[in-house]
Structures are given as C-alpha cells and as structure tokens.
Structure 1
Amino acid sequence: MICMLIFPLTLFASESAVKYVAITAIVEHPALDNVRKGVEDELKDNGYIAGENLKLHYQSAQGSSANAAQIAKQFVASKPDVIVGIGTPSSQALAATSKTIPIIFTAVTDPVIAKLTPSWGASKTNVTGVSDALSLETQIEIMLKIKPDIKTIGYVYSPGEINSTIVLKQLQDMLASKEIKIIAAPAQRTSDIPTAAKSLKGKVDIIYTTTDNNVVSAYESLVKVANESKLPLIASDPASAQRGAIAALGMSYYDLGRQAGKIVIRILRGEKPGDIPPQVGNVTQLVINTKAAQKQGVILSDEILNMAAEIIEK
C-alpha cells in the first residue's frame, strides 16, 4: 500500500518541477529582442509560465565579448536546464564554458564556421540551435530590382563579427560573376559607423547591411548618412526597414525565436541537444519603406511593391 501511494506522488513532483531556462544576447536591438520574445512566447504557449513552473533569467552582454564570457560563467554556475544564446559571440561564450548543459544558439549565420557544431548534422554534443542564414542570391535579386544598374555595392560591417565576414566573402564570390564590385567599409565600434558610411559616398551605387549586431544597434546613424548622401540603403533585417532602410528581406526574428523555443521545449521534455540537428529559420519577409526611398532618391517599381509583405509609408 505504501509503495502504491508513493509512486504517484513522486511522478506528480517530477512533472510539476520548476524548469530553469537562461537566455543571453550579445546586445539589445529590435531583431535580437524579437528573438528573445519569440522564445519566451513559445515557452508560455506550451505551458511553461515564468514565476510558476518556469524560472526565466535574461542578461544582455551590452555588445561586449568580455561581458558575454562573464555571463556564460555565471549562467553555467547556476545550472539551468537549458541556456539560449542569441547572437554568435554569446553562443560561442556559452559553448566554450560548458560541455554538458544544453545550449541552444539562435541568430547565428553559420554554426559550423563559428565552431559551435562540427557539422549541420546532429552534433552529439550539448549544442544545437537555429541559424538565420539567408539566400544571398535572393538578396542580390532584391537589390537589382530596386536599382537595376548597380555596378558597385558598399558593405558596412564589423570585422570582429564572424557572421558579417562570412557574408562579405560569399558576396564577393557571387558578385564577381555578375561583374558587380563590393567595397567593404569596416566599423569596429558603433561610433565608427557614420565614418564608414561616409567613406562610401561617390564610390558605390547602394549600401547593403546584414544582421551585423554592431551595425544594427546603431542603425539610425547609418540611415542619416544614407539620406544625406542619397545612397540607397538595403538591409537583411526586416526591422531595419522600420528604422530607415528602403527595403529589407530577411528572417522574421520573432519566428526565429519561436523556432528556437520549440527546441528548448524538446530538451525540457527529455531530448538531448546532440540528437537534434541545427535548423535554419523558415520564415522570411520583405518589408519596404517608401518614405526612405523618397529620402534616398529611389523610385520603387510596382513589381517590388507587390512583392512586399509589409509597406511602411511614414
């Protein structure tokens, strides 16, 4: 009789135990904030309620790799059930700090080149996640639809961010066959972005930006230069169109977070991260800003407008 009573009580305690999920981002800006919201909403919609059966802890590294390393150590010491790393530097810091606690990366372009996973297959390690890699061929098509006579593309980026250097190399390789040159303008710090952008004036037909966290976190300063110089600004982060890019074709970072959240839930329910292959975000969208187009001297065709999932007119 005693054993029969103890078993159901033990099972109930196990099912109702509080889970602990820690989340860290390399910096706070709209795209990464949307990733975090997506993760949290996915958890909530699946019954993991912060303050009830879920302990949720978040910290931003404020753009500092040193902070990211310190946060990783703090999180690992607190022994969460899962840690989510938003952005490559934060994910790398986590992977370097623990080989046992499940780590889910997201907003990382290439986890293999970033040395987070050995391949795109199941890693058999404690790391898996969701990439925000985009088809650069499609990005180039959008640029050409907005400005068909492109000969030179300016690329403002942070040389210390591996996602951005990967994309730069891929763009250089792809554009060579189209006889389009790319001029790179490095900006090591956010304060360097206006100078980097100004250096492109008179040299390029458009400026293209990726989801470089350094650039995105100070996007308004880049938009100001683009408007003043009449340089069309094209982005790969949909939120950047809200902030002044003419067009942005990219991941829905909220949906990217929801996708990562699904993996977190699988792990909380007993699966091992090493048995789950890394995924690529599966929701993209094109956002057009007609007001930005006017400011940057571009007339948008009906074709590109009809392709947009969202058009911003003010």
Structure 2
Amino acid sequence: MKKTGKLMMVLALGILMNLTGCSKKIVEGPRIGVIQLMEHTSLNMIYDSFKEELEALGYKDGENCTLVFKNAQGEQSNIGSIVSSFQSEKLDVVVAIATPTAQSAAKLAETTPVIFSAVTDPIEAGLTTSLEHPDQNITGTSDEVAVEQILDLALQLQPDLKTLGMVYNVGEVNSQTNIAKAKVAAEKRGLTVMEAPVANTSEVAQAVQVLSEKCDALFSPNDNTVATAMSTVTQITRSAQIPVYVGADSMVMDGGTATIGINYVDLGKETARMVDQVLQGTDVSAIPVKVFNQNLSIYVNADALEELQLTLPDSVAADPQLVLLNDPQ
C-alpha cells in the first residue's frame, strides 16, 4: 500500500506540473503567426528564407520570440480554422504566404498587422487600394509574373510555337490575373491559346494530358495548385515531348522547362524585414508593398532541354542572368 501511495503522489505531481505549465518554457518577446497555404517548393522556400532572415535580424524562435506556424494543406476550410484560432492567440504580427491565405487572413488586420508574401496582385485581391500607401493594416511582398518575357523566351526556344496550352486553378486570383495577361500577350504574338482550368490538384493530370495532345507547349503561372503537382506535370509533358513554361523559379526546379522571374528566397527575406519593421514600431501604412519585378533571372531546366531536344539560343546562353537548374533528385 505504501508503494502504491508513493506512486500516486508522483503521478499527481506530474499532472500538477503539466497543468501549471512548470514543464513548458515561457518565452518572452513577440509572437509571430505564420499561415502557409500548402506544401510546395515556392512556398517552402519563402518560409525557410523568412525564418533564416528573422534569425539574422536577431529573432530566435523559442528564445526571444515565438513563431506560431500553421500549414493549411491547400484546404480553404483549414485556412478559416487557422485564422479563427489566431484571433485568440494574442499575436503581434501575422504573416500570410500566398494569395488565398492573405485574403482570409485580412480579417485579422482589424486588430493585428498582417504581412503577406507571394501575392501577385494585392489590389485585385482586395488587400489594399494602394501599393505605395497600404490602407488596411496589410502590406507585404508581391511576386509579379513577367508574362510577356516568359512568352518571348518560349518563342526563342521554340520558334515554331503556334498553340499554347494554359493550365491553372480558376479559383486563385493570382492565376486569374496572370492568365488574363498571358492571353493578351499570346494574341500579340500570334499564338493560339487553349485553356484547361482546374479546381484542385487531382484535376491537373487530366488537364495537362489533354493539352499535351493538342498544343506545342504549356504555360502555367505561379499557380499553387499546379505547383503542387509539378512532378505529375513533368512526367506527362516530358513523355509527350512538350515544354512547360512556368511562373516561378521553384517550378523550374521541380521539372518545368523555363521561366523569367525572381528568386523566392529574396521574397522570404524581404517579408522578414517587413515583420521586423512592424515589430520595431513602424506603422503598416508607412511600409509600401514591395513588387519584385526588377533584376529578373532566366531559369532553365537543363534536364528538360536535353530530354525535349531544345537548344538555348546564343543570346540566352550568354546572358549573365541565366541560371541552369536540374530536376529534383
């Protein structure tokens, strides 16, 4: 009985310690909430570089600040649940990665500054009415897609390109904006466009298969749904001997043929700097949205070139902004 009594006392003490928080370290400092739309290379690069830059700025998770990271796994219902939970988290700032996430997180801006990352068109997304003077307690970084330059690159790689297939999620505002631009740019260049909008990742394979049978090449902007399915896109298009031009460097890393654009690591770092400004007391309205549309690089997948039997023109091969990438191993 004595042994049983001692055991009960130990168990009770353990439970008491857990209930009173004695076993949990209390971290002094700012609390930073982060919502990421889903898992894919672009968004992962943003979050990883965001964390690294925060550390470089002196914010160390678990030591002098707390990062509350949530991944919505591509489900809109999950985003809503995360936003609701963040309303009671007493956060100092919220970071929303990707357009759909930022749109849902906007309601938090009534009480908490919101910094978005990788939002193609913040005004069209309803996050602000001005890039220079954000007016809804929301600002951030924009990954504007160089649509016309990407199509020009496609024509350099494929001078006989006539029919361009476009695959994208019709529910993503960022994709709607870029596809509208791409259609205008394609018409100017005498290209025929075929569209295959999708609603989710499971529809991507069939859409790509259909377009690959009818088009000379495919184009997808910085579409989160397509980016998540790039391994499938690559498998189908390589088999059909069809290049796929994309809106993000990470999509080239995942098998896309080529793009012209920004480095998403830079996007993540700048997002961290904006968070630092807010935590240092700068009003959100004094932090302009930063649109990444200068000093763009040419990203080309060398494995895709070889398998598709494409040759880089001398002007592209000699460009100092050329970055050759390979398929993921």
Determine if contact 1:255/1:283 at 8 Å carries over to the other structure. no
> Structure 2: which amino acid aligns with 1:296?
L
Pick from 297, 306, 323 the counterpart of residue 310 of structure 1.
Answer: 323
Give the 4+ runs in structure 1 shifted more than 4 A. none
Matched residue type, 2:307: K
Percent identity reads 29
In the TM superposition, what is the alpha-carbon distance from 1:122 to its structure 2 partner? 1.1
For residues 85-143 of structure 1, what are the alpha-carbon distances to aligned partners after superposition, in whole Å with 9 as ceiling and x for unaligned?
Answer: 00011111110344120000111100000001122231232101110012222112211
- Contact map agreement 1:43 1:261 (CA 8 A) in 2: yes
Output the amino acid matched with 1:50: D
Q: 1:298 corresponds to which residue?
A: 310
1:15-34 map, 5 Å: 18-34=29-45
Whole-angstrom CA distance in 2 between matches of 1:32 and 1:192: 21
Over aligned residue pairs, what C-alpha RMSD do you find?
1.7
- Which of 268, 276, 282 is the aligned partner of 1:271? 282
Separation in 2, partners of 1:208, 1:296: 16
Q: Is the 8 A contact 1:249 1:287 kept in 2?
A: yes
8 Å CA contact retained: 2:316, 2:322: no
Deviation at 1:69, TM superposition (A): 1.2
| 1:9-47 deviations in Å (ceiling 9; x for gaps) | xxxxxxx95011111111111110111112111211011
Q: 1:240 aligns with which of 244, 248, 251?
A: 251
Q: Is the 8 A contact 2:248 2:261 kept in 1?
A: yes
Q: TM (normalized to structure 1)? A: 0.90
Whole-Å Cα distance in 2 between the matches of residues 228 and 132 of structure 1?
30
Q: Does the 8 Å CA contact 1:123/1:277 hold for their aligned counterparts? A: yes
TM-score (norm 2): 0.86
**Matched residues in 2 for 1:223 and 1:252: separation?**
21
Q: Larger C-alpha radius of gyration, 1 or 2?
A: 2
Asked if 2 retains the 8 angstrom alpha-carbon contact of 1:305 and 1:311, the reply is no
CA distance in 1 between counterparts of 2:255 and 2:315 reads 21
1:42 maps onto 2:53 in alignment: yes
- Equivalent positions of 1:5-154 (< 5 A) are 18-154=29-165
* 8 Å CA contact 1:229, 1:296 repeated in 2: no
Structure 1 position 252, deviation (Å):
0.8
Q: Does 1:192 align with 2:200?
A: no
* Conservation of the 8 A alpha-carbon contact between 2:145 and 2:222: no
Closer/same/farther in 2, CA of residues 252 and 283 from structure 1, 3 Å limit: farther
Counterparts of 1:270 and 1:82, CA distance in 2 = 11
Structure 2 residue runs without a partner (length 5+) = 1-26
- Give structure 1 stretches of 5+ with no counterpart: 1-15
Write the distance in 1 (CA, Å) between the matches of 2:297 and 2:68: 30
CA-to-partner distance for each residue in 1:226-247, whole Å, 9 max, x for gaps?
A: 0111111111211222221221
Whole-Å Cα distance in 2 between the matches of residues 283 and 108 of structure 1? 19
Give 1:275 shift: 2.2
Q: Contact 1:246–1:289 (CA<8 Å) still a contact in 2?
A: yes
1:209 aligns with 2:220: yes
Q: Does 1:280 align with 2:291?
A: yes
Aligned match of 2:234:
223
Distance 1:53 1:152 in 2: 55
Contact (CA 8 Å) 1:235, 1:241: kept in 2 or not?
Answer: yes
Q: Taking structure 1 as reference, are residues 229 and 76 closer, same or farther at Cα in structure 2, changes over 3 Å only?
A: same
**Letter in structure 2 aligned against 1:120:** L
Deviations 1:176-216 (A, max 9, x none): 22221221111212111111011113422111121111000
Deviation at 1:283, TM superposition (A): 5.7
Cα distance in 1 for partners of 2:90, 2:180 equals: 38
